[in-house]
Structure 1
């Protein structure tokens, strides 16, 4: 896989374009859904909703205690019969952990109940969504490990396209509560693709349970810490400032934070292949080189485009009231584009080669640093200070992941 042509040919052969397009559709639908909420809901309701969804984002990676990530990695390197057994085992174990997670999430609403009205109801609907996310994620992961990326894409597209239509209609007619109902039921559209083989295989107890759950717990911890990194900013702004500051910050970060989907969708389609070649140094080095041939020009082009059209983009998508956030958006964009070339690349390669614990410790340290830096930065510079803090953490994480993956490569023969 030394040439870029061969690299892209393998990507298409693996039906990676189905995964890529499904992620693209998901991001477009998610972005349009965010615009719908910003346009149709008052600023204070959008701010409160953003606070709850930030807490939701922290709980989301712990879905099933990492059972879906276990299924993705170990299912990718298992034989066909073992894939069925592993899926059944993880479905029931993960479901048990998910029920506990939902209950803890709803109880978490008590921390906000005295400050924001009706916030318990928002947490309740998000809890229903959390359970639906577990089911839909297991279904989609099963199709990925069995080589049916096209079916995975169909499920993902149905959830996102159908979900966006439901979201638009419900929010338009019933406003805030219409949105809550819509977003809680959307993940359950995946149940149309539920198969008995996913949860009914006999003798489904795997031999290496301890190793798998260690991987799953570290993956869940890494994901939750990473999501906290992107939620802590909103949570701190909600505490240190107010819901209007949260709304302005969410608008500024919306475009930059969605751009890495290009990298995430690309690498997610190759994750099973990367897992199988985790000891193949030549393959991994070639993969990184070809990756940079594609994404360095893309990142440069994105940054230049945003620089010249930042005011237009904010006005077009969110309205003239938010155009003053253009400098904040560019600061965040710098962090996210650099992260595409470092954090997203090496942060996905490390779990694929079994070094998930590196991600966990780096993410934990990044979270601690963000807490300290952003506390003082927000006090001094307000919303812009939070943008500087988050962008700095993205750069730091990317360099750290790159350093440890390079060490891993050097130890391979």
Structure 2
């Protein structure tokens, strides 16, 4: 228990609580926004919105072709402030060009849906605007992190999310779906109020990392994030093709709470990412980190699953009204899958990212997505929405085991 106390003490010493709480607030705001939209929109509109949001979730991690992930990782391992500024300036300019290309590709995808779903293009268009704002927000957040300004990171994150969800609730209430789309499209641009011009005006392009190394990491990080988020979008997209928008709505409701419990593990590890990156060759540190992580999240996961198991019907009725209470079986299967996800995939995937093993992460993420497609092709046609819940949970667990095995091999090679 002494090591756990030291672990927690160091977490607060590094101001990790500011990052953790801000990401927690972001998750709560996203949850409240989703909950409100579920309640006010008809099932068919919510189903169409979920389809576009799922496509957006596939593209969003690829923001700037990984420039923000590269900034966070390489900016964390250098101790020279001028080098950090130079790296940030270079990645902002390069990443923005790639971001514009990404937004165009996002709109091209809408062509596959226009003939099937009415008025879906304007939804895609406003989500494309959000993609650009999302790029600036992520870059500025990463810049705060590499300079150790966790308070600044928390401030920008809290303002964007709290003000964003407030506008979302107000405009959705007044104008329905159109109000919701306007709110999510423009709130990420609030991050530009924290844009630091001095970091980009007179900084020479000088850093110790090769551009090939930087973008190799960024592309693999984006590929991993893309494949990981595709895992949580492919399920909705496959249901949209194999079934209908009502089935999409039912599944989306059932997965909303289970998918959001992982924020506990993700925000905790994101808070520690710069520290993990700096200690990527410290075997003892990494071993202790894993042990202490389990001391915290193993009991948390068990508690969450037991509460969800005993009160699954009541939870669905309270949060989503009685019309969705028949999805309790889907809910508990997904809850179990995401609890295991916290203990395996979230932990070892983030560790591999911090130590620079992004190629392994990308490969395992691809295999996990492939497993989901294979499992769902059989299980969805046979069991419907329950089959998709089974497919996703099984795929995540097998992917998590592969990540654990890969990281343990990395640890074994460290001296």
TM-score exceeds 0.5: yes
Which residue does 1:349 correspond to in 2? 351
Cα offset, 1:376, TM superposition: 1.1
**Secondary structure of the structure 2 residue equivalent to 1:202:** coil
* Deviation of the 1:201 alpha carbon: 4.3
Q: Aligned equivalents of 1:31 and 1:47: distance in 2?
A: 17
Within a 5 Å distance, the mapping from 1:185-196 to structure 2 comes to 185-196=186-197
> Would you say the 8 A contact 2:81–2:147 is kept in 1?
yes
Aligned position for 2:3: 3
User: 2: CA distance between counterparts of 1:127 and 1:298?
Assistant: 37
Shift of 1:262: 0.4
Match of 1:51 in 2: 51
1:230 aligns with 2:237: no
Partner of 1:104: 105
Tell me the SS of whatever aligns to 1:3.
helix
Match of 2:342 among 340, 343, 351: 340
CA deviations over 1:268-302 (Å, ceiling 9, x no partner): 01100001100000000001111111111111111
Residues 119-268 of structure 1 mapped to structure 2, 5 A cutoff:
119-206=120-207, 207-268=209-270
TM-superposed deviation, 1:205: 4.9
Kindly tell me the number of residue pairs found equivalent between the two proteins: 413
Mapping 1:379-398, distance limit 5 Å: 379-398=381-400
- 1:202 deviates by 2.3
In 2: Cα distance, 1:271 partner to 1:192 partner: 25
How many Å separate the matches in 2 of 1:314 and 1:341? Answer: 25
Question: CA–CA distance in 2 between the matches of 1:41 and 1:101?
Answer: 29
Specify which of 406, 409, 412 is matched with residue 407 of structure 1: 409
Give deviations 1:185-220, integer Å, cap 9, x for gaps: 110111111111343342225451001100000011
Query: Which residue number in structure 2 is paired with residue 28 of structure 1?
Result: 28
Q: Distance in 2 between matches of 1:123 and 1:197?
A: 35
**2: CA distance, partners of 1:294 / 1:194:** 36
* Match of residue 61 from structure 1: 61
Instruction: State how 1:324-335 maps to structure 2 within 5 Å.
Output: 324-335=326-337
Paired with 1:199 and 1:344, the residues of 2 have a C-alpha distance of 34
Specify whether residues 201 and 303 from structure 1 end up closer, same or farther in structure 2 by C-alpha distance, changes over 3 A only. farther
* 2:394 is the alignment partner of 1:368: no
Is the partner of 1:334 in helix, strand or coil?
helix
List alignment gaps of at least 5 residues for structure 2: none
Residue of structure 2 equivalent to 1:75? 75
Alignment partner of 1:93 is 2:94: yes
Equivalents in 2 of 1:63, 1:205: separation in Å?
24
* Deviation, structure 1 residue 246: 0.1
Question: Where in structure 1 do 4 or more consecutive aligned residues deviate above 6 Å?
Answer: none
- Per-residue displacement from partner, 1:305-325 (whole Å, max 9, x unpaired)? 111111111001100000011
- Looking at structure 2, the residues matched to 121 and 102 of structure 1 have their Cα atoms a distance apart, in angstroms, of 14
Give secondary structure in 2 for the equivalent of 1:401: helix
Q: Any idea what the Cα deviations from partners look like across 1:103-151, whole Å, max 9, x if unmatched?
A: 1111111000100011110000000000000000111110010000011
Moved more, 190-199 or 169-178: 190-199
Contact 1:16 1:149 in 2 (8 A): yes
| Equivalent position of 1:40 in the other structure | 40
Q: Is contact 2:367-2:399 (8 Å) kept?
A: no
Distance in 1 (alpha carbons) for counterparts of 2:9 and 2:75: 24
Offset of residue 2 of structure 1: 6.6
TM-score, length-normalised on structure 2? 0.98
Moved more, 240-249 or 196-205: 196-205
CA distance in 1 between counterparts of 2:97 and 2:329 reads 45
Instruction: Kindly indicate whether the alpha-carbon contact (under 8 Å) linking 1:139 and 1:198 is maintained by their aligned counterparts in 2.
Output: no
Is contact 1:88–1:201 with CA below 8 Å preserved after alignment?
A: no
Deviations 1:213-234 (Å, cap 9, x if unpaired)?
A: 0000001111101111110000
- Structure 1 regions of 5+ residues with no counterpart? none
Quote the Cα distance in structure 2 between the aligned partners of 1:106 and 1:205.
Answer: 36
